[in-house]
Amino acid sequence: MDQFTLNWMFIGASFLLYIGIAIWARAGSTSEFYAAGRGVHPVTNGMATAADWMSAASFISMAGLIAFTGYDNSSFLMGWTGGYVLLALLLAPYLRKFGKFTVSEFIGDRFYSPTARLVAVICLIVASTTYVIGQMTGVGVAFGRFLEVDKTTGLFIGATVVFAYAVFGGMKGVTYTQVAQYCVLIVAYTIPAIFISLQLTGNPIPGLGLFGDHVASGEPLLAKLDTLVQELGFASYTGHHADTLNMVLFTLSLMIGTAGLPHVIMRFFTVPKVADARWSAGWTLVFIALLYLTAPAVGAMARLNLITTVYPESTASAPIDYEARPDWMATWEKTGLLKYEDKNGDGKIQWYNEKSADFAATAEERGWKGSELSVNRDILVLANPEIAQLPGWVIALVAAGGLAAALSTAAGLLLAISSAVSHDLIKGAINPNISEKGELLSARIAMAVAICVATYLGLNPPGFAAQTVALAFGLAAASIFPALMMGIFTKVNNKGAVAGMLAGLIITLIYIFLHKGWFFIPGTNSFTDADPLLGTIKSTSFGAIGAMINFAVAFVVSKSSDPIPAEVEDLVESVRVPKGASAALDH
């Protein structure tokens, strides 16, 4: 059976499964649409949360970013996993105890202000919309290669599938669909990793193989990779070369952004009790760890395989002939995500760091006139089974897994946007007397509109999937996370909360736009970062600074205005009452 047919079979079967689950679990009330009727088992919720959390950025893009940079991009791993621990310990149980449907509703009630609720809705929509662009980017990449359609067509197909199961199923349908998507994505990620680890190191556990010996050379795998990348003028794979301050701020931005992402927080509203929220957080960490402990090995092994494909004799002076390139390269060239330009006319593929001053003399001596291969980092995980010449069914499985990762998170984000519009904006501000049937209809319409907007924005994303997602984390870190923390653990008043959220969001947005050059180059399709505006701090790292500004403004404004009402102070205290101290715990 040819590869194209296998791809269609695996992807088609997974899509039918998702749609079938959504029909079976269709939401019939607002409680089911927003919170799955609060009846999801902790293990089930843990698996669904893991799928919601591990997006296209985790499945498709993260290992690619690690592969092309090495140690310095481990900040993605540290930030995302550390942030989830922060969420599980400091926010999830308390927010579940509060007993609301949405993050914005909590902020509105805690800060006794419709304005605070409205500002939270704006922050949520901005962060979630930015995040969902990264998912649609991943959908376009996967469809473009495996179904042999252009990126635009792939986006439209993915949007249609999400529409089919998310608009009608709501949180109830999305929850059980995400359980299926987790099973698909984790199997699709680990099976190729096991195959490739066995090939390269003889060890079936990728995480252990990463620190084992390379079978072909007898050297430690990481030492072999370090030698190869440095022979091509690249920085060592295992060394630290980035600015330390920027790396720390970026990791912190990812951490607190994770804890402020509403689509993940919403998952903890679906369990019956506060204790279940804690258990589901623990199970989520277990399910996430299965992929995150494997990703560094996938990145390193993919980079090694890619280099030895271009330089099969493991020497940088003998690149492969373009006409002799493997089939997978020709296939990915059709998508435009892998490009070759014969700059010196010798018919070979030179791939090296043309920006390296130390390597320039060597390149000139060999008659090389610039690196001739361009590889989009988002393709590496998807192409990895083909690079390693694994069976066709493994390639098809990876295709289904990549799409499952992108679609599961996209559905969660779109549900968060839909809930904010229908429950917080329409019911909370515009029409408080709307019927449950009317609210459910408005939620579905809001999600349909959000899908259309996300698809449109996904056609021209501001970077790789993981880079776009990093911007979303920065926005959530600067706006939502501080409000949640202050709402639970401090006595900041409504004016302070509103001022803090607006300050954090606006300053972070301005920094991103200035840093990206979007103010100065209207209509450009170039998203290369400009020089940092504040020391070495990049736009993806500024969320941590934005959060500090949010906290500072909130405390200053709160101290200079009226204290919170006594009943709100009692509410804050009651949210933190230990288990067993009040019957309200299981509310």
Say how far apart CA 107 and CA 91 lie, in whole Å: 13
pLDDT score, position 213 = 94
Say how far apart CA 169 and CA 177 lie, in whole Å: 9
330 C-beta neighbours (distance < 10 Å), count: 12
567: CATH: 1.20.1730.10
Write the DSSP symbol of residue 325. Answer: -
Q: Which residues contact 415 (CB under 8 A, 6 or more apart)?
A: 166, 170, 171, 174, 263, 266, 447
Reduced to 3 states, what is the DSSP secondary structure of residue 134? helix
**Domain assignment present for 213:** yes
**Domain assignment present for 88:** yes
**Domain assignment present for 381:** no
Question: For the residues of 365-410, what is the DSSP string, one character each?
Answer: HTT--S--EEE-GGGHHHHHHHHTT--HHHHHHHHHHHHHHHHHHH
Instruction: Give the E-state strand segments of 102-190 in sequence order.
Output: none
One digit per residue, the tens of pLDDT, for the chain of length 587 reads: 778 888 889 888 888 888 788 778 776 677 777 766 778 888 998 898 888 878 777 887 788 888 888 888 888 888 888 888 888 788 878 888 877 767 888 898 899 989 999 999 898 888 888 777 777 777 776 776 777 777 778 788 878 877 776 776 677 777 888 888 888 889 989 999 999 999 999 999 999 999 999 998 899 999 999 999 998 999 899 988 878 888 889 899 989 988 888 877 878 878 888 788 888 888 888 899 899 899 999 999 999 999 999 998 767 778 899 999 998 898 888 877 889 999 999 999 999 998 888 888 888 888 899 999 998 887 888 888 888 888 888 888 888 888 787 777 777 788 888 888 888 888 877 888 888 888 888 888 888 888 888 788 777 665 545 556 777 888 889 999 999 999 999 889 999 999 999 999 999 988 887 766 554 444 444 444 455 567 678 888 899 999 999 999 999 999 999 889 988 888 888 777 644 444 444 44
Proportion of the chain above pLDDT 90, given as a percent: 24
How many residues in total does the chain contain?
Answer: 587
Query: How many distinct structural domains can be found in the chain?
Result: 1
Q: Which residues contact 581 (CB under 8 A, 6 or more apart)?
A: none
**Domain assignment present for 495:** yes
Say how far apart CA 159 and CA 170 lie, in whole Å: 15
CA-based torsion, 17, 19, 22, 24: positive or negative: negative
Can you read off the two tokens belonging to residue 317?
Answer: 């002076």
**Domain assignment present for 477:** yes
Q: Find tokens 């990093």 and name the residue.
A: 470
77 alpha carbon, distance to own chain's centre: 11
pLDDT score, position 519 = 46
Whether 371 contacts 352, CB under 8 Å:
yes
Q: What's the start-to-end Cα distance of the chain, in Å?
A: 55
**Domain assignment present for 318:** no
Say how far apart CA 129 and CA 107 lie, in whole Å: 20
> Per-residue pLDDT tens for 171-213?
777 788 888 888 888 998 999 999 999 999 999 999 999 999 9
Paired strand residues for 373: 340
Say how far apart CA 474 and CA 508 lie, in whole Å: 8
Say how far apart CA 4 and CA 312 lie, in whole Å: 27
Q: In which domain, by residue range, is 477 found?
A: 3-301+387-586
**Domain assignment present for 379:** no
**Domain assignment present for 363:** no
Put simply, whether the predicted model's pTM sits higher than 0.85 gets the answer no
